[in-house]
Chains A and B, each alone.
Chain A
């Protein structure tokens, strides 16, 4: 109210200033169309200032409601992906072919072997190998080498292997001899071709193979066979090409495998069997775990479970006098309701657990045999399930329920049976890794005998696995990071903690290190850093904070702020618009008056 009275008092002079002193003096002066004074800028300036400060506030508001997103190296992830997709990862390999008793030019042999190698090599879309080959022809006291300055061929002392070494029939001794001759600092795969009486082709358990050929053998045929053993056995591990199993490795993201062995007594009322697992663990398994050290960190657990029937039925076969479980029912053998095999608490969250099960059938289904698809009975009486583990059915002796004997009276599985069983398990384990358990490799050019290792996996097999492991880890790391980056980019309102950013960065660094190590041939460290890269990538992808996306949506933000911003922006906008319009009108009036007064004067 006082304001009004105030304005009332100031009305007169204001009026006087605005209204021209003599409006009536000029006959054609229309106050609706003209004015004599310049229109004031005060209010226009004020409203525009408010409008601008309001608009300036918007970026601040935007900043304040922004959620925290740690910057992720999207470009580097993309470059890693494209790099791994386009240029395949190259592992350098070195082959050495040694010919004893041949009389030919090493350069010519080398060329023919190389041409055969390129013929045999199939391009793996993911990882391939970058190989070099050196050939030595041994004449006893001196030898011919090509390439002459290769460090691999020079490490071989001429005449240290003679044809007489191969006369004996003991393959293991030959293998040891070759290992002692060739074991230099460099890891090379060597093939020795010897002229002799009997024909023989053997792949040892280290990184060597040898071939005894008859007198009439052509150089070319030998070259074909050498090329095949180098590529198919040493490089590919003697496995089938293109099977899916080769791509997956049953190794957890943290590089660990837990082998959980379970002895299942289907019905303890009939009989209860126990085992002496500790002996097996210390003996058979420890050496295998040691051999697989470069690929995975393996731990072993065991338990005995009771009242664990299988899930499907078997039928009685009169001819075999046993119960037969047919192949088509195998998916229903594992009874996930009753077999509480459990995950391991001791293992970390991302270790791979492989379950190996010894199934002791109950009296009413004993003896239980597994049938192959071709109708024959399985020799191992077991089967594997990829990425899960394996099952062996073990039938107790006699299968007769001795009612007098109390079932608890400690039956133990005989040690001999147990050892056989674990040999089958090791075979199954090899199968899960994609290796065969037959001792013969039949290639296109001939048959190679494979010497089995008492450690479960031969040295060259572990090499294959560690190469494959590195390759698989790098690809899985890249795809995980790729999907993380896609996810993050597709959800703009997702919170990304600093920790995720750090993990992604470390993972990329580890992946780069793995790549560079792989290309310089350091398998162990490249496997280790690729494992690290993969586990960090998985950690970042499965980080618990990544779930906090959906609770603070843009709609929420809009609902909270609109009661303020909607009315205020309407007020300010309208005021600015009005002032602007008025200013324009008034200015036109003034200009009209000015023009008029100009013409009048």
Chain B
């Protein structure tokens, strides 16, 4: 293997060199101007997941080169996005709508897909602006309103300063002009997907997007729709900068298990066989004619490949055949309905765990009469595990009652990754760097002095573990609290935990949402590992560079994961309380006034007199009554005599 790697390394160097030259050439074309055209690419990546599910990742990329007429005249690129970029001077922006939670444990956390496409539930928006510092907030607020109109969502709630923050350095595209906000409770549905599809030149009328059958994709376990745009620097004077718009939709679906003649004893170990029709209910009947490239990829991740290799080796041993990687991939342990146009094998020297394999299918070859319906049928049962991020992060609440509590972020080492971490452990001092970014709404009043760090369940001094910390405390009703930290954990760490205490604040009665008793969300924290890069390097040639999805995979982006969103119950008042208070106060006041007035105008002497008179009268009347009664008792016959007397 080592011998094989060296030529590859040289090749890689040569290629990168060529790539650089290409870039330089690219720049000069920009300066000449107008030569480039707007482009659109559509791609779909399918990947079987270990827990019998299938990941489908749609990737659409439109790009507009720098030109004088961006924002005014467009051919393929959506005009609305271009105008938005020009109007608010957006340098980079990402908006995601997500439903469900990415299951880092079974779906993996190390690949480029989870680290850039697993998003917190609800809406997440961040944007970098190219405006002077004092205008950023105004631009952000206008942008939220525009996006809210564009995507039929309540993104405009991110307008208030209590909902967004300005991370300094822990959020990956860190820069001073960044604003970040989330709406964890935003429900995501077709009304958000339709405007998103409207930005594609073919919408869902043709091409790969035809597969986006609403009932099937919303039935999935995870659904994340993302829009990322980057404005590339303008070439020369008077040119408006170009834009690259990347739209991705990541869904995790459960294929309907087809037991086509498979009779294995351990049925539950068998991966379900699936096809595009069985997961989406549709098939691709041709490309979007405007797309420059239109490809479908099938990705087998490292764990699966290693497992398959292992199984294959065992089989081959008995057959006494020499093992080569060539014939292995042409005779795998599963069957594909279509022949792949190309097979890419990941070029990796870092991970001992084998390398991923990518099958490429070109949709151009298929047509309406012969639609593309990829299906995968497993021949043998396979069990594997996805590659995990170095630490698995989870976050939970501690404490009880409506007064105070604590937030804990726990990081647990994933045993799988121990292998390659151990490789570095031989150095005298091996550190695992972890960045934590956490936003807390103002009504959760965090006491930063109460921050505690536990490593392997032992309390540690903060200064030993935390290398860098930036805290901007929340201001009541003005801004949320932001905490950014860089942790240096020893490589052999098993578990680490951070706890921080908070008091629950009181909101004004107007500030409660309609369903206040549900609780209040604390947005997900972001845990990133800057020393680990989620990238897949494939054997470089032109076809890889041409594919935006694969070049995206090759970018070195830090491994990132989101924690759960927390739900904090706050004391909710009885909302009729103000009226009750008013009523009772008023009654007390009225009683007080009435009695005071009565006392003031009281005539004590006269009343006494009256009372006396009354008493006198009363006794008279009473005696009269008594006598009458006795008379009645005595009988009616001597009444007359009484009267006479």
How many residues of A sit at the interface, in one of the four size bands? 35 or more
User: Can you list 14 residue pairs at the A/B interface with Cβ under 8 Å?
Assistant: A15-B605, A15-B608, A281-B69, A281-B73, A301-B79, A306-B205, A306-B290, A307-B202, A346-B72, A561-B586, A564-B586, A566-B590, A571-B593, A572-B593
CB distance from B546 to the nearest CB of A (A): 16
Q: Does B516 contact A (CB under 8 A)?
A: no
Give chain A interface residues in 244-287, CB to chain B under 8 Å: 268-269, 272, 274, 277-278, 281
- Give the interface segment out of A43-51, A214-222, A314-322: A43-51
Those 7 A-B pairs whose CB atoms lie nearest each other, nearest first: A564-B586, A567-B590, A563-B586, A7-B604, A571-B594, A307-B205, A345-B83
Q: Does B634 contact A (CB under 8 A)?
A: no
- Give the interface segment out of B23-31, B258-266, B461-469, B595-603: B595-603
By beta carbon, the residue of chain B nearest A16 is B605
Q: Do A346 and B289 form a contact, CB below 8 Å, given A18-B605, A559-B579, A567-B594?
A: no
By beta carbon, the residue of chain B nearest A261 is B73
Q: Is the CB of B73 within 8 A of A307?
A: no
Question: Residues of B contacting A386 with CB < 8 Å?
Answer: none
Contact partner of B146 among A10, A345, A566, A567, CB < 8 A? A345
Question: Residues of B contacting A15 with CB < 8 Å?
Answer: 605, 608-609
> Please, what's the 1-or-0 string for B569-608, where 1 marks a CB less than 8 Å from any CB in chain A?
0000000000100110111011101100110110111101
Q: Is the CB of B601 within 8 A of A344?
A: no
Q: Is the CB of B593 within 8 A of A568?
A: yes
Question: Residues of A contacting B75 with CB < 8 Å?
Answer: 274, 303-304
Known: A304-B76, A568-B589. 7 other contacts (CB 8 A): A46-B601, A269-B206, A274-B75, A303-B73, A342-B79, A567-B590, A571-B594
CB distance from A81 to the nearest CB of B (A): 35
Q: Is the CB of B598 within 8 A of A575?
A: yes
> Please, what's the 1-or-0 string for A204-238, where 1 marks a CB less than 8 Å from any CB in chain B?
00000000000000000000000000000000000
Contact partner of A346 among B83, B150, B206, B286, CB < 8 A? B83
By beta carbon, the residue of chain B nearest A268 is B289
Q: Do A43 and B603 form a contact, CB below 8 Å, given A268-B290, A567-B587?
A: yes
A272 to B598, CA, bound (A): 94
> Please, what's the 1-or-0 string for A549-584, where 1 marks a CB less than 8 Å from any CB in chain B?
000000000011101111110011001000100000
CB distance from A127 to the nearest CB of B (A): 36
Contact partner of A306 among B201, B589, B593, CB < 8 A? B201
Question: Residues of B contacting A345 with CB < 8 Å?
Answer: 80, 83-84, 87, 146, 150
Q: Does A14 contact B (CB under 8 A)?
A: yes
Q: Is the CB of A302 within 8 A of B74?
A: yes
Question: Residues of B contacting A302 with CB < 8 Å?
Answer: 72-74
Q: Is the CB of B589 within 8 A of A564?
A: yes
CB distance from B365 to the nearest CB of A (A): 13
A448 to B606, CA, bound (A): 110
Q: Do A579 and B206 form a contact, CB below 8 Å, given A306-B201, A567-B594?
A: no
By beta carbon, the residue of chain B nearest A572 is B597
Q: Does A11 contact B (CB under 8 A)?
A: yes
Q: Does A92 contact B (CB under 8 A)?
A: no
Question: Residues of B contacting A7 with CB < 8 Å?
Answer: 604-605, 608
By beta carbon, the residue of chain B nearest A575 is B597
How many residues of B sit at the interface, in one of the four size bands? 35 or more
CB distance from A30 to the nearest CB of B (A): 14
Q: Does B203 contact A (CB under 8 A)?
A: yes
A10 to B606, CA, bound (A): 12
Q: Does B71 contact A (CB under 8 A)?
A: yes
Q: Is the CB of B73 within 8 A of A269?
A: no
Q: Does B351 contact A (CB under 8 A)?
A: no
Q: Is the CB of B86 within 8 A of A268?
A: no
By beta carbon, the residue of chain B nearest A263 is B75
> Please, what's the 1-or-0 string for B313-344, where 1 marks a CB less than 8 Å from any CB in chain A?
00000000000000000000000000000000
A571 to B418, CA, bound (A): 84
> Please, what's the 1-or-0 string for B177-218, where 1 marks a CB less than 8 Å from any CB in chain A?
000000000000000000000100111011000000000000
Q: Do A301 and B73 form a contact, CB below 8 Å, given A7-B605, A342-B80, A559-B579?
A: yes
Contact partner of B206 among A4, A268, A300, A304, CB < 8 A? A268
CB distance from A42 to the nearest CB of B (A): 9
Question: Residues of B contacting A269 with CB < 8 Å?
Answer: 206, 286, 289
Question: Residues of B contacting A18 with CB < 8 Å?
Answer: 605-606
Q: Does A147 contact B (CB under 8 A)?
A: no
| A positions within 8 Å CB-CB of B | 4, 7, 10-11, 14-15, 18-19, 43, 46-47, 50, 268-269, 272, 274, 277-278, 281, 299-307, 340, 342, 344-346, 406-408, 559-561, 563-568, 571-572, 575, 579
Q: Is the CB of A11 within 8 A of B605?
A: yes
CB distance from A8 to the nearest CB of B (A): 8
> Please, what's the 1-or-0 string for B119-163, where 1 marks a CB less than 8 Å from any CB in chain A?
000000000000000000000000000100010000000000000
Q: Is the CB of A563 within 8 A of B583?
A: yes
CB distance from A358 to the nearest CB of B (A): 13
Q: Is the CB of A408 within 8 A of B73?
A: no
Give chain B interface residues in 429-485, CB to chain A under 8 Å: none
Question: Residues of A contacting B289 with CB < 8 Å?
Answer: 268-269, 272, 406-408
A278 to B84, CA, bound (A): 21
Question: Residues of A contacting B288 with CB < 8 Å?
Answer: 268
Question: Residues of A contacting B79 with CB < 8 Å?
Answer: 301, 303, 342, 344
Q: Is the CB of B597 within 8 A of A50?
A: yes
Q: Is the CB of B590 within 8 A of A568?
A: yes
> Please, what's the 1-or-0 string for B49-86, where 1 marks a CB less than 8 Å from any CB in chain A?
00000000000000000000101111110011001101
By beta carbon, the residue of chain A nearest B81 is A345
By beta carbon, the residue of chain A nearest B197 is A340
Question: Residues of A contacting B609 with CB < 8 Å?
Answer: 15, 19
Q: Is the CB of A408 within 8 A of B290?
A: yes
Question: Residues of B contacting A344 with CB < 8 Å?
Answer: 79, 83
A272 to B606, CA, bound (A): 108
CB distance from B231 to the nearest CB of A (A): 15
Q: Is the CB of B198 within 8 A of A340?
A: yes
Q: Is the CB of A14 within 8 A of B605?
A: yes
Question: Residues of B contacting A346 with CB < 8 Å?
Answer: 71-72, 83, 86-87
Q: Is the CB of B87 within 8 A of A575?
A: no
CB distance from B65 to the nearest CB of A (A): 14
A305 to B76, CA, bound (A): 8
Question: Residues of B contacting A278 with CB < 8 Å?
Answer: 69, 73
Q: Do A579 and B601 form a contact, CB below 8 Å, given A307-B203, A564-B590?
A: yes
Q: Do A300 and B290 form a contact, CB below 8 Å, given A43-B601, A345-B146?
A: no
Question: Residues of B contacting A274 with CB < 8 Å?
Answer: 75
A408 to B202, CA, bound (A): 13
A564 to B79, CA, bound (A): 62
By beta carbon, the residue of chain B nearest A560 is B582
A567 to B579, CA, bound (A): 17
Q: Do A560 and B579 form a contact, CB below 8 Å, given A302-B74, A568-B593?
A: yes
A272 to B206, CA, bound (A): 14
